[in-house]
A and B are shown apart, each in its own frame.
Chain A
Amino acid sequence: MPKEQFAIGKRAVVCQDTEMKGEIDIGSGTVLHPQCKILAESGPIIIGSNNIIEENVTIINKQPTPLIIGDENVFEVGCYVEGSKIGNKNVIEAKARILGNTSLGDNCVIGAVCSTKRDEVIPNNTVIYGDHHNRRTQTTCASQQSSLHARHLDYLREVLPKFNHVRIGGANTATESAASNHPRKVKEKEKDSSH
């Protein structure tokens, strides 16, 4: 049984109804909706910054090696991610599945209900779509997607805490970051007294 350890980065929003197990590191600015599951069964899960993880998403690491997820990815409702590595700026659509030891590059789109094969390496800009999990390479630059993503994150950071019980990184988080918070408060006090 791996140790339970959560680290939540600054400005990250983690809803209280999430199920987290094992050693998990959540980068700054990442948003976790309620009802998502992050299960580090054997190895740790390291999530980068500014990801959106929606409800009923399962991210699971069954290997002893760490599952590393990059920055600015979107995991839409009900997707299932096993894998060994996820790059940056990927979109995993609703009910998509990433299986086995697969590693994903950057700017990929895994379409709704599509799945990868087990243990493959998916290059950058791959789009998987349709009934037969067809593949093609996307050519257009995803600048529009990234501006939408940034605004989406801003919106969620503002709205989610109004309606859900959340933990926000850098503030009132779990024991570990609370401990790191404490010295900072002391420092602030010292500043006040020096004024």
Chain B
Amino acid sequence: MEPSTVSYYKTEYIETDTGNKVSRKSVICGSQNIILGGKTIIQTDCVIRGDLRRTGGGHAVVVAIGRYCLLSRGSIIRPPYKTYKGAFSYYSMKIGDHVTIGEGSIVEAATIGSFVHIGKNCVIGRFAIIKDCCRIEDNTVIPPNTVVPSFSIYEGSPGVFVDELPECVQDLYEAKTKDYYAKFQLRGD
């Protein structure tokens, strides 16, 4: 299924030098702690919490997002927290390349690999690890500390393994995210 062209007004999005497109209506807290790889789209009403950083001094990257990612409307990215050896801290989150996060999803994962599709209204629990080439269906709840293996499809609440993905999925998701980025254009008038 070919996605249709999505157009936006110049006043709605900010485009950075590396081709990231960030909605002005998204909420980015602690932007100095967030890295966007390039050609990533952050849509309206997204929330990224870069302010919840690790305790202790020095410069810390809280949220690192790769290339050609899509954060759809209303999705929330916030780093996970836990107490380790009696000290409370938030920890960093890493998201790979070609990752799509659906509308209204909440992500508190530790790592998300590359070529991952997360559907609408999902909740990804604290310190969940999602490996490369996965698909999380709409309305799934991945409990805290879950590891989702490569090439798997997870569904339900709590999310369970339902099916496998074919090996070609890497190319499919790569093509899909690149296509979406190419078709996410400035409105011409």
Q: Which residues of A contact B89 (CB under 8 A)?
A: 155
A78–B106 contact, CB under 8 A? Answer: yes
Q: Would you give the 0/1 interface string for B41-82, flagging 1 where the beta carbon is closer than 8 Å to chain A?
A: 000000101111101000000000000000000001010010
Q: Which residue of A lies closest to B27 (CB)?
A: A35
Count of A-B contacts judged by CB separation below 8 Å: 68
Q: Would you give the 0/1 interface string for A115-155, flagging 1 where the beta carbon is closer than 8 Å to chain B?
A: 00000000000000011000000000000000110011011
What's the least CB distance linking A94 to chain B, in Å? Answer: 5
What's the least CB distance linking A44 to chain B, in Å? Answer: 28
Q: Would you give the 0/1 interface string for B139-170, flagging 1 where the beta carbon is closer than 8 Å to chain A?
A: 10100000000000000111000000000000
Interface of A is mostly: loop
B76–A112 contact, CB under 8 A? Answer: no
24 inter-chain pairs at a CB distance below 8 angstroms, sorted by A residue, are A34-B29, A35-B47, A55-B27, A55-B47, A55-B78, A56-B47, A78-B76, A94-B108, A111-B157, A112-B125, A112-B157, A113-B121, A113-B139, A113-B141, A113-B157, A130-B157, A148-B88, A151-B87, A155-B88, A155-B90, A159-B51, A159-B52, A160-B51, A163-B29
B residues at A contact (CB < 8 Å): 27, 29-30, 47, 49-53, 55, 76, 78, 81, 83, 87-90, 104, 106, 108, 121, 123, 125, 139, 141, 156-158
